[in-house]
Structure 1
Amino acid sequence: MTGLAQHYIAGLWRDDGARPRPSVNPADDTPLGRYVPGNAALADEAATAARAAFDDGLWAASPGCGRSCCMNSRTGLPRRRMTSRIWSWPRMASSGRRRWVKPWLASPRSRYYAGLARNIRGSMQEMAPGQISLFHREAAGVAGIIVPWNAPVTLLVRSLAPALAAGCTAVIKPAAQTPLVHARVMQCLAECPSLPAGVINSVNENGIEVGQAMVASPLIDVISFTGSSRTGRKIMEGAAATLKRVGLELGGKAPSVIFEDADLDLAVRRLTHGSLAIAGQMCAAAARFLVHDSVAADFAERMTAGLKAVRVGPGADPSSGMGALIDTANQARLMRLIEQAGDEGRMMLKGGPLETGAFLTPTLFGIDDVRSPLVQEELFGPIISFETFGDEAEAVAKANATVYGLAASVFTRDHARAMRMSRAIRAGTVWINAHLRLFAEAETGGYGQSGLGRLHGPEGLHDFLETKHIFMEPGVA
């Protein structure tokens, strides 16, 4: 695919004369197309357009059924299959099959929130005879949506769909690494005849300038951000000046706890996919294997074989099981971490680069010191630590030993133990005998430094809605 990814403001495509920059395929460093970088002035213009579209009431005050119909329209939120090399890098490893990260994965999210748009209800309470309080749920205002690069379509729609369902208008900032796929999504939205101009606006990033302008803008009421905990803290600081609402899904260090009675073959299959999805560049990916002493050697042998069997290569190649990293800079960063893991721990499977491209084969290393930065910090790549435990209490203590609490998994045949562990582990999602099972209907979000608020499910609407109390005494003029 070749093309130019522009900004989309108030229903118009814009480039404003800025010099386009190349967007490259990390699998072979070849250009895929070009994008126009944005600036703070364009971010402010987009926020102004979104505020005007919100204030005129055509979208925000329309019945939920109208917004639902627009979201379900054939040219609304992306439901069309779009095949191109721009999809090629984020391939997911799975047991015995291959699954592409494609735009239609966003479709269940848009349909789900299109349904919820028709069911946003308030409530009524009689405070005293003849005195009635109405509690009305209405749109919070303009939503600023900051999208990460690792799943640029799915994670955009995950925030945009509930924002639109609630009646908000939006300003979107795509990641600088994925402007071309974002432009395809915006093209789908631009072709929707029932979507008023200015309801959705998008400005490409230029370093951090556009994101900073959005966070500081007094015209934006809500920020929805998915990304690192470090950036999340900066967003909170920047949003404090205007006291805007902030929803954050941040970093993770997901532990997978494997007990002595677990089906080890099942665990290997599920965790091969669960640790290598999007080349491990996923906040909920399995990053730590916590294994009972009695099966540690057996599981290590099976898991090492499972990771070795994954073929790393270009996503466009059907035989590939895991694609490239996002860029060569991250490849170099992860290579340094692999060397550190060899120094601090026991190298069980050492990964390395391929001859060309931003590829990295999986790494598995054993470590005993839970205080190590290799255990405590999010590595964001196909590098997994291997730790052991002796009893359930130690498993819980190690699972909860980091500042993160986004996701975890437990592998056991003991249902009572599974429920005890799922309650004891402080994480927003705990999978039993599975990992990375995500659904539009099921809330996701984190404890601790993994974020604030929830996405998906009915609670995904909460960041984009306000509750208004209307008091009335019927018959009193």
Structure 2
Amino acid sequence: MKHEIPSRLATELYIAGRWRDASDGGTFPVYDPATEEKIADVANGTVEDAIAAVDAAQAAFAGWAATKPRERAEILRCAFDILTREKDRFARLMTLENGKSLADSQGEMAYAAEFFRWYAEEAVRNIGQVMHSPASGARILAHHKPAGVALLITPWNFPAAMGTRKIGPALAAGCTVVIKPASETPLTMLALMEVLEEAGVPAGVVNALPSRASGKVADAMLHDPRVRVVSFTGSTAVGRTLLKSAADNVVKPAMELGGNAPFIVCADADIDAAVEGAILAKMRNIGEACTAANRFYIHDNVHDAFAEKLAIRMGAMRMGHGLAEGVQVGSLVNAETRDKVAGFVEDALEKGARALCGGRRHEGRGFFYPPTVLVDVPDTAKLLCDEIFGPVAALQRFSDEDEVVCRANDTEYGLVAYIYTRDQKRGLGLAERLEFGMIGLNRGLVSDAAAPFGGVKQSGLGREGGHEGLMEFLETQYVSAEW
């Protein structure tokens, strides 16, 4: 089914408060992944455009950094109000270019807007300290200054929220930014530029550079000495490459990278609650999330009951175009993602796993894959070692808590883990032993604008959200004085 493309689409580069074509006039197409039909042609930013965007951000930096925190806060609060008012338009646009269900897009818009409201409040809480040195007798003054121009690189899976999660704290801190959205989903971010302009963000403070030459433009900006922060959300492999480029100019990095989340259901868990949590942790955004539950470890005593109920719930979810009424499972973002998911399932089935629902590639147009529950998944299955990034739950049994902790920690990733148990002491004890930056304890959702989001090990550096997210865009200055 073909759905109407909005007549109001921003498709150009946004630099220094102006819309403009790419320097070489180039464009790239953006497709509806549910129909494989083209939505729009978007300006394809070049290295020359990237440097122009840094020029604009640098020119605007001194003025924005000197703006009173309350003024910055009021602009961010205004952006929250506008985005809330426009949430339905943004949700439809996001579904068109990303493929997720409209319900998922609406949920993302509420989450995305909240970052502007939260950082409107945090902008006025850049608090330093004064103390009397116990050794020298001097006064120690420590305060936090905006770090400078920030490069923000966002992924395709949350086209709005991954942008607001970075723009909000950067602007609250007094930084100016260049944001490079994913080439699969640039339209949502370009539409957000209109919101920020209406909210009163001065020209040059936020610049948007869609581009298919992601590596080249990012590398050029990271080697520009005026860029002082890089904030990236995406795969660990790309994060490593960006860190190498950032090292040349010692650019401050904030990296939110891949995940391989374990979902542990203990013998004493409320099974119905665990199934509800699993649906949220697995099927939010069709599983295309770094926080998605990947490896399900279910205690022997409750495995069969949990597996049956999960399969019934996931198997009953309606799949189709994300804008169609009642659809719960939209399209994956592109053929590569769909094929990767299908390959993982085929590998697991060939090695002895059984599918309780789904398990077969969708035939026809669009990059769909049906919700799938696999049991008896062997340790050699590839999907246990990598992010699935699709609607597939891989179940394994366990009988011993020490064993399940070892298995859960046996990954290079350390973003989020989920635990279900009726015993709070057991849950908190397991949480302390798990090597993950975030824990969902009897909850299938951890994302919150007020919370420090981030991982350990190969899942990243730094935190987004909460007060910690603001600090990623600030530098501490110490002044030694006597009076």
TM-score, shorter chain, exceeding 0.5: yes
Which residue does 1:173 correspond to in 2? 180
Deviates more, 1:226-235 or 1:397-406: 397-406
Check whether the contact 2:321–2:331 (CA below 8 A) recurs between aligned residues: yes
Which residue does 1:459 correspond to in 2? 468
Which residue does 1:11 correspond to in 2? 17
Check whether the contact 1:141–1:169 (CA below 8 A) recurs between aligned residues: yes
Which of residues 343, 366, 373 is equivalent to 1:364? 373
Question: Are 2:407 and 1:398 equivalent residues in the alignment?
Answer: yes
Choose between structure 1 and 2: higher helix proportion. 2
Distance 1:190 1:408 in 2: 38
Residues 446 and 130 (structure 1), Cα distance of their counterparts in 2 relative to 1, 3 Å cut: closer
State the 1:184 CA deviation: 0.8
Q: 1:220-299 maps to which residues of 2 (within 5 A)?
A: 220-299=227-306
Letter of the 1:298 counterpart: A
Q: 1:57-206 maps to which residues of 2 (within 5 A)?
A: 57-73=62-78, 78-84=83-89, 85-88=92-95, 100-127=106-133, 131-193=138-200, 195-206=201-212
1:283-308 CA distance string (max 9 Å, x none):
00111110001221221111111110
Normalising by structure 1, what TM-score? 0.93
* RMSD, aligned CA: 2.1
Which of residues 9, 13, 30 is equivalent to 1:23? 30
Check whether the contact 2:88–2:106 (CA below 8 A) recurs between aligned residues: no
Q: What SS does structure 2 have at the residue aligned with 1:79?
A: helix
Residues 210 and 80 (structure 1), Cα distance of their counterparts in 2 relative to 1, 3 Å cut: farther
Normalising by structure 2, what TM-score? 0.92
Residues 149 and 98 (structure 1), Cα distance of their counterparts in 2 relative to 1, 3 Å cut: closer
Question: Are 2:478 and 1:469 equivalent residues in the alignment?
Answer: yes
Letter of the 2:349 counterpart: G
State the 1:213 CA deviation: 2.2
1:449-469 CA distance string (max 9 Å, x none):
110111111111121011101
Question: Are 2:322 and 1:315 equivalent residues in the alignment?
Answer: yes
Q: What SS does structure 2 have at the residue aligned with 1:231?
A: helix
Distance 2:114 2:435 in 1: 28
Percent identity for Structure 1 against Structure 2? 34
Q: What SS does structure 2 have at the residue aligned with 1:134?
A: strand
Distance 2:413 2:347 in 1: 22
1:389-423 CA distance string (max 9 Å, x none):
11111121111111111111111111111111111
Deviates more, 1:434-443 or 1:155-164: 434-443
State the 1:64 CA deviation: 1.1
Question: Are 2:351 and 1:376 equivalent residues in the alignment?
Answer: no
Letter of the 1:453 counterpart: G
Letter of the 2:311 counterpart: T
Check whether the contact 2:307–2:375 (CA below 8 A) recurs between aligned residues: no
1:91-136 CA distance string (max 9 Å, x none):
7789xx8773453432211111111111111111122687322111
Distance 1:310 1:232 in 2: 34
Which residue does 2:3 correspond to in 1? none
Q: What SS does structure 2 have at the residue aligned with 1:334?
A: helix
Tell me the number of residue pairs that the alignment of Structure 1 and Structure 2 aligns.
469
Check whether the contact 1:43–1:213 (CA below 8 A) recurs between aligned residues: yes
Q: Which runs of 5+ in 2 are unaligned?
A: 1-5
